[in-house]
Amino acid sequence: MVFKSELLKINQKLAQKGIKLRIEKRGHRLCLRGPLPCQFNPGETKDQRISLGLEANSVGLEQAEKTLNFLYLQIEHKQFEWKSWSQSKSGFTYQKHKSNIDEIIDEFKSNFFNDPSRSRSKSSSKTNWSSSYLPYLQRLKTIAYKNNRKLNKALLVETLKSYSENSRSRQQCGSSLKALADYSNIQLPNDWRSMAYGYGLHKAQFRQLPNDKEIEKAYEMIPNQKWKLVYGLMATYGLRNHEVFFCDLSCLKKGGDKILRVFPNTKTGEHQVWPFHPEWIDKFQLNDLSNEKGLLPAINTDLEKTTLQNVGRRVSEQFRRYHLPLTPYILRHAWAIRTIHVGLPDTVSARMMGHSVSIHTKTYHHWITRRDQQQAVDKALSA
């Protein structure tokens, strides 16, 4: 019953998007069905099936949906060719020429930007590609060219291991290469997730997390009032670098509710954030931001001419220029841990940070575990 419900939901979603292709269950296998170009007369279409050789279960359904979206893109861009799909006893499989890594990555990039399942804005997708995919794919190509390697499981593992264990770069590389592997039909090792994601925060970051007094002290080190306001917003609201310049500050006016709204064109879309600590709004003079324009640094935020990554980079560069003892993301981590200490539910905190509960739990596992254990102890002692 669960599988039938999942299948129905996917097909309904496809219909809502105007996609005429459907996923079908035939026996114990899955296939695609819908209007496809005729093999001997590409100018005409007729209702046809493509057997996928995938098991009719949740895992097979997930892969079938990805294949259908890719097939739809090929048809929409007039790139569909039957010869690109090889038939075997288990069905049709799209064949990529794995000898040309540049060609595969170009196809992957095209699929990324044209994927109909993506709902993000163009500027957000552009930033996401530039920051979350491109650096790791470039390293993959560098390693491949240097050693005359083809795109396969071994190359993906080697690229992943070129980054330090438990580092944020390694985690992001793991996500990017998994997406490439899924697209290229490459089976990753079973322990890929543990190799990529490790155990939450990098050990160095774990040691560097500042307390409130250290955060306030670093604020005083900034000589420029405009950058003090940037720092204050990030410390009080746990914002990403670029989000400082893409949020509604009108809430900071006298009598305002002090709840920031981060705009939809940011990395993870629109979300609302509460201040922790609220008293920092006065301490860091954030109320001034609602009264006058131009109080923040003059940074180009026109996403037709720049990217969210470039905006964020300006903030990181300024932190280094002032020799601050912490980074923008350390401020964000400190905000998250502050919400854990005050007992804010993880689902609420994750939503305010603009990421999933699973990412939140994984990243802040140590502090969440300690909080939950302490609550259990306090409850037992008060009984």
Q: Is 370 helix (H, G, I), strand (E, B) or coil?
A: helix
Residues 295, 221 share a domain: yes
Residues 249, 376 share a domain: yes
Residues 150, 108 share a domain: yes
| pLDDT at residue 82 greater than cutoff 80 | no
**Most confident among 126-140, 153-167, 331-345 (mean pLDDT):** 331-345
* pLDDT recorded at residue 136: 92
Residues 81, 35 share a domain: yes
Q: What is the mean pLDDT of the chain?
A: 84
Residues 115, 73 share a domain: no
User: Is the CB of residue 266 less than 8 Å from the CB of residue 283?
Assistant: no
Confidence of residue 98 (pLDDT cuts 50, 70, 90): very low
* pLDDT recorded at residue 237: 97
Residues 363, 262 share a domain: yes
- Provide the number of structural domains found in the chain: 3
Residue length of the chain: 383
Q: What is the CATH number of the domain that holds 278?
A: 1.10.443.10
Residues 295, 178 share a domain: no
* pLDDT recorded at residue 120: 56
- Establish how many alpha carbons lie within 13 A of residue 95's alpha carbon, considering only the half-sphere containing its beta carbon: 12
The residue-averaged pLDDT of 21-35 equals: 89
Q: What is the pTM of this model?
A: 0.55
At 109, the amino acid letter reads: K
H-helix or E-strand containing 52? strand 41-55
Question: For residue 33, what are the β-bridge partners?
Answer: 22, 49
Residues 119, 80 share a domain: no
User: Is the CB of residue 22 less than 8 Å from the CB of residue 33?
Assistant: yes
**For 15-24, 76-85, 111-120, 153-162, which range has the lowest pLDDT when averaged over its residues?**
111-120
| Cα-based torsion angle of the residue sequence 281, 284, 287, 289 in order, rounded to the nearest 10 degrees | -130
Residues 328, 230 share a domain: yes
Residues 137, 89 share a domain: no
User: Is the CB of residue 178 less than 8 Å from the CB of residue 184?
Assistant: no
Q: Is 85 helix (H, G, I), strand (E, B) or coil?
A: strand
Residues 154, 59 share a domain: no
Strands, E assignment, the chain: 22-26, 29-38, 41-55, 85-88, 91-94, 247-248, 260-262, 271-273
Q: Which domain holds residue 268?
A: 206-380
- Domain end marker among 177, 198, 219: 198
- Establish how many alpha carbons lie within 13 A of residue 347's alpha carbon, considering only the half-sphere containing its beta carbon: 0
User: Is the CB of residue 36 less than 8 Å from the CB of residue 18?
Assistant: no
Confidence of residue 319 (pLDDT cuts 50, 70, 90): very high
- Domain end marker among 79, 94, 109: 94
What pLDDT, in 10s, does the model give residues 257-303?
A: 999 999 998 888 899 999 999 999 999 999 888 766 689 999 999 88
H-helix or E-strand containing 247? strand 247-248
What pLDDT, in 10s, does the model give residues 202-240?
A: 554 555 688 999 999 999 999 999 999 999 999 999 999
Residues 136, 32 share a domain: no
Share of the chain above pLDDT 70, in %: 88
| pLDDT at residue 355 greater than cutoff 80 | yes
| pLDDT at residue 373 greater than cutoff 60 | yes
* pLDDT recorded at residue 307: 84
- Domain end marker among 56, 71, 94: 94
